[in-house]
Chains A and B, each alone.
Chain A
Amino acid sequence: EDQVTQSPEALRLQEGESSSLNCSYTVSGLRGLFWYRQDPGKGPEFLFTLYSAGEEKEKERLKATLTKKESFLHITAPKPEDSATYLCASRPNYGGSQGNLIFGKGTKLSVKP
């Protein structure tokens, strides 16, 4: 069964304390791994797309990496405004069915000043 599992469920950091969020996936031929950020009461906001193992993308304090089995979202020197729920999603290769997107349950990040 295709699955996306995120860990930890929740993470509390002090401002400036770097860490990583994990997204492991078991899908039938990955055709895209997406990271989103979701603030309370809002829809998810796109951060990164990764398509192949070894690929890396960066944006400000965030860096996403991808291996054949998992993706990491590294947060360097986080600030309180980085507090949010981070979602990972994968798009499997189902042959004729091209539109499925499977989300993990998210990691809720809290950054204290």
Chain B
Amino acid sequence: EAQVTQNPRYLITVTGKKLTVTCSQNMNHEYMSWYRQDPGLGLRQIYYSMNVEVTDKGDVPEGYKVSRKEKRNFPLILESPSPNQTSLYFCASSYYSNQPQHFGDGTRLSIL
């Protein structure tokens, strides 16, 4: 089954404790992206990757890091999480950036 898998689905952690949210797709897509979704603000793009080893900032990249060492994986790293990063996060992928994206089911992060 074609899918985008995010882990964990839920996480409660504390300020400053490094965490990684994994994202994996099994569709051989070139393009992958991370979003956060907040009430009243909608979906905002954090980072995206056009291909392996190619990443670029979206609209809200501060406090996040990404890497794309393999085509299928695109982890989101919060090196020193803060409470304002409490949010619902989505990973998405598509063959190319102008194609419709497939979304994962989301990761709900709570940072205390």
Give A residues with C-beta under 8 Å from B: 31-32, 34, 36, 41-46, 49, 87, 89, 91, 97-106
- Contact code string B33-77 (vs A, CB < 8 Å = 1, else 0): 101000011111100111000001011000000000000000000
A32 vs B97: C-alpha distance when bound (angstroms):
10
Chain B residues with Cβ under 8 A from A97's Cβ?
56
Contact, CB under 8 Å: B42 / A43: no
| Closest-CB distance, B4 to chain A (whole angstroms) | 8
Interface string of B18-42 (1 = CB under 8 A from A): 0000000000000101010000111
Which residue of B has the minimal Cβ distance to A49? B100
Which residues of A lie under 8 Å from residue B7 when comparing CB positions? none
Residues of B within 8 A of A44 (CB): 43, 90, 92, 101, 103
CB < 8 Å: which of B41, B98, B99, B106 contacts A43? B106
- With contacts A103-B42, A103-B43 known, is A98 near B50, CB below 8 A? yes
Residues of B within 8 Å of A102, CB to CB, are 45, 59
Q: How far is the CA of A89 from the CA of B98 in the complex (A)?
A: 11
CB-CB < 8 A to B50: which residues of A?
98-99
Nearest B-chain residue to A34, judged by Cβ: B100
Residues of B within 8 A of A (CB): 4, 31, 33, 35, 40-45, 48-50, 56, 58-59, 90, 92, 97-106
CB distance from A41 to the nearest CB of B (A): 8
| Contact residues in B for A46 (Cβ distance below 8 Å) | 100-102
- State in angstroms the CA–CA spacing of A104 and B41 once bound together: 9
B23 CB → nearest A CB, Å: 11
Q: How far does the alpha carbon of A102 sit from the alpha carbon of B33 in the complex, in Å?
A: 12
**With contact pairs A42-B105, A43-B106, A44-B90 given, residues A101 and B100 touching in the complex (Cβ less than 8 Å):** no
Docked pose: A70 CA to B83 CA in angstroms: 36
CA distance A45 to B97 in the complex (A): 16
Q: Which of A32, A36, A45, A101 has a CB less than 8 Å from the CB of B45?
A: A101
* Docked complex Cα distance between A46 and B98 (Å): 13
CB nearest to B38 among chain A residues:
A105
